[in-house]
């Protein structure tokens, strides 16, 4: 018996045909990961995360298929499906009085599409979701590279711009604030990183001062949440996302979460 059996091998990336079939059969779906107010311990919003319910391999994450989706030309149409889906689901929550923000990740290639802003406007209109309830999350480099006209039109629509991969002490957060970013997500692990020199308080001060919502990703245990609470100035909002609060889950599970414990207690939109 060898140690490198089929189960150890990285699975083959899916073929273009498989992905086209998956799309036609509606095998893509969104899961929603809760974001919590760290201090109040209350529900603050969700981030939509793309999954593929593969007929034989189970639920796959983007790492397993997103590259091939991109090279197959399907990343943009699947992204527009996700945009329609997240705004529809967000509007359902809002209609029931749960007026929290929903976030969607947007790939660089999608943000460069000529009709991107029109598609965002169309999804908002079709769903009747309040624009301020939609956060579009970009990688920092994507947002910095976004055409000014695109960024300005998105801001004019009233959606919130978010960045996904803020590295405290490294990322130029003041520049991000200048670009109109409303939500800054600290990359997973940033809070636990022992090599992190400056206190989070200093690194994040320019964001907090400008009312940017700070969300720490990858909060897995109470110690991390406590460190966050202690190190980020009391002035700003501070949110956490991670297994401490809940993993990515179907919308129905978020419904139960809302009903069972954590009534949204943020600012109404």
- Cβ-proximal residue to ligand G, closest one: 242
Is residue 36 within 8 A of residue 247, CB to CB? The reply is: no
Supply the minimum distance, in Å, between the C-beta of residue 162 and Mn ion. Answer: 7
Q: How far apart are CA 149 and CA 118, in angstroms?
A: 13
Supply the minimum distance, in Å, between the C-beta of residue 200 and ligand G. Answer: 17
Q: Which two tokens stand for residue 100?
A: 């929290």
**77/247 with CB nearer ligand G:** 247
Supply the minimum distance, in Å, between the C-beta of residue 137 and ligand G. Answer: 9
Complete DSSP assignment for 59-78: EE-GGGTHHHHHHTT-HHHH
Burial of 220 (0-12, 13-18, 19+ CB in 10 A): middle
Supply the minimum distance, in Å, between the C-beta of residue 149 and ligand G. Answer: 28
Q: How far apart are CA 159 and CA 182, in angstroms?
A: 9
Q: Is 72 helix (H, G, I), strand (E, B) or coil?
A: coil
The option from ligand G, Mn ion, none interacting with 137 (CB < 5 to 8 A, set by class) reads Mn ion
Supply the minimum distance, in Å, between the C-beta of residue 16 and ligand G. Answer: 24
Residues of this chain that bind ligand G (CB under 6 A): 33, 49, 61, 188, 217-220, 242-243, 247-248
**Binder of Mn ion out of 33, 87, 89, 105 (CB under 5 A):** 105
Asked if 142 interacts with Mn ion (CB under 5 A), we say no
**167/220 with CB nearer ligand G:** 220
Q: How far apart are CA 228 and CA 213, in angstroms?
A: 14
**Binder of Mn ion out of 37, 85, 164, 239 (CB under 5 A):** 164
- Containing H/E element for 119? helix 116-127
**35/137 with CB nearer Mn ion:** 137
Would you give the distance in Å from CA 12 to the centre of its chain? 27
Residue with tokens 């943020």: 266
**Rounded alpha-carbon distances, angstroms, from residue 121 to 79, 131, 134, 243:** 14, 9, 11, 33
**18/35 with CB nearer ligand G:** 35
Supply the minimum distance, in Å, between the C-beta of residue 24 and ligand G. Answer: 24
Which residues in this chain contact Mn ion in the complex, by CB under 5 A?
105, 137, 164
């Amino acid at each position: 018996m060898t140690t490198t059996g089929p189960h150890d091998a990285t699975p083959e990336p899916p073929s273009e045909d498989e992905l086209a079939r998956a799309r036609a059969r509606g095998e893509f779906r969104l899961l929603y990961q809760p974001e919590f107010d760290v201090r109040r311990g209350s529900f603050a919003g969700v981030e939509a995360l793309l999954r593929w319910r593969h007929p034989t391999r189970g639920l796959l994450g983007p790492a397993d298929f997103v590259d091939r989706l991109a090279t197959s030309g399907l990343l943009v149409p699947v992204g527009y499906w996700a945009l329609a889906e997240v705004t529809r689901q967000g509007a359902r929550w809002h209609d029931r009085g749960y007026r929290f923000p929903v976030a969607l990740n947007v790939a660089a290639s999608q943000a460069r599409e000529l009709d991107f802003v029109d598609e965002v406007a169309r999804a908002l209109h079709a769903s009747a979701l309040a624009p301020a309830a939609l956060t579009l999350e970009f990688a920092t480099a994507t947002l910095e590279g976004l055409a000014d006209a695109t960024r300005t039109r998105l801001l004019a629509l009233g959606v919130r711009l978010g960045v996904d991969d803020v590295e405290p002490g490294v990322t130029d957060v003041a520049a991000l604030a200048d670009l109109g970013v409303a939500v800054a997500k600290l990359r997973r692990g940033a809070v636990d990183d022992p090599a992190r020199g400056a206190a989070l308080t200093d690194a994040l001060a320019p964001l907090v001062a400008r009312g940017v919502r700070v969300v720490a990703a990858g909060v897995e245990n109470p110690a991390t949440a406590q460190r966050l609470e202690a190190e980020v100035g009391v002035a700003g909002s501070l949110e956490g996302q991670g297994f401490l609060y809940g993993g990515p889950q179907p919308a129905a599970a978020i419904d139960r979460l809302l009903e069972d414990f954590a009534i949204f207690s943020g600012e109404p939109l």
